[in-house]
Structure 1
Amino acid sequence: MKITTNLNQLYENDENLWLEETIKLLKQKQFNQLDLENLIEELISLGKRDLAKAKGLLRQIIIHILLLQYWQVEYQRNHRHWIGEIKTFRYDLDNHLTTNLTKKIQDDLENIYQSAVDFVKIKTDLTIFPEKCPYTLVELLDNNYLP
């Protein structure tokens, strides 16, 4: 009990040291000494952070695909940049995705698409975008797919 209390205090004062100590306890299978309350909080936070990052990267892919496909006034000057951004965001997302995250962003694809459209409307002053996401997740993640 005393170690858990000390870990709890350590969490408040030095989160990195708390993490190191927690990892040691886990490796030593000293589960009864863990600061479970803060460990659970950190795991929940980690899951939310990973999902937010995946959604953000997918939103960026959609934004740049929309710019590439619809913003004809800027196409000639910016299309190579947009394609480069799409490739970079795909690479980053591919390195970040897990099976669980893939399912979650698939389930939220329409909302992610809508937030991308909102951004592109402001940036371009265009209003010609499809109401529903015209791309599948497979297309959005495919390094060779461009509209």
Structure 2
Amino acid sequence: MQGVSSNLSLKELYEIDENLWLEETIKLLKANHLEKLDLENLIEDLENLGRRDKAKVANLLEQIIRHLLLLQYWTEETPYNSGHWKAEIRSFRNELKRNLTTNLYQFLEKELASIYDDALGYVIDKTEGKLDNLPQSCIYTLDQLLDINYLPENV
């Protein structure tokens, strides 16, 4: 490994400086020196990357759902907060659009009910259980949730 002490293995480098480990790993991959890779840590990092990406898009979708529910159902707060909620919905949609891939879209489709349940729990807590009209299952399609212009009809 050029630039790294010859006494230091790639595995040891991972423990000391993960960014340098990543740079060296990329160099090895580009040079097709697959036999020199630290496969154990590479696999772990790739798995973590996949989990992180899924968590990020799920969180963004949950935020969209939270704000749509607040906008649509917390009518006593609508005059004071609708502009903020709409702006947040737009912001989360824009960020989600920048991070969404085909695989992550499919992940969101599969997890939509669970993500909705999490958002619903948040809204119930936020409104201190005052809203008895919240739908118990998701009333939005994934395409509606991602559509930059979609807002419920009664808003």
Same fold (TM over 0.5): yes
Q: Which amino acid aligns with 2:28?
A: L
- Among 58, 72, 90, which residue is 1:87 paired with? 90
Bigger CA drift: 118-127 or 52-61? Answer: 118-127
Under a length normalisation based on structure 2, what TM-score does the superposition of the two structures give? 0.91
Q: Which amino acid aligns with 1:134?
A: I
Q: Which amino acid aligns with 1:95?
A: R
Bigger CA drift: 121-130 or 80-89? Answer: 121-130
Equivalent residues, number: 144
Displacement of 1:128 after TM fit? 1.9
- For 1:40-88, what per-residue CA distance to the aligned partner results, in whole angstroms no more than 9, with x for missing partners? 0000000000000000000000000000000011100000000000000
SS in 2 for 1:73: coil
Aligned to 2:3: none
Displacement of 1:127 after TM fit? 3.1
- Among 26, 29, 32, which residue is 2:32 paired with? 29
Gaps of at least 5 residues in structure 2 are 1-5
Aligned to 1:44: 47
Aligned to 1:109: 112
Aligned to 2:139: 134
Under a length normalisation based on structure 1, what TM-score does the superposition of the two structures give? 0.96
SS in 2 for 1:66: helix
Aligned to 2:17: 14
Greater helix fraction, Structure 1 or Structure 2: 1
Bigger CA drift: 25-34 or 47-56? Answer: 25-34
State the superposition RMSD in angstroms.
1.0
Q: Which amino acid aligns with 1:57?
A: L
Q: Which amino acid aligns with 2:116?
A: Y
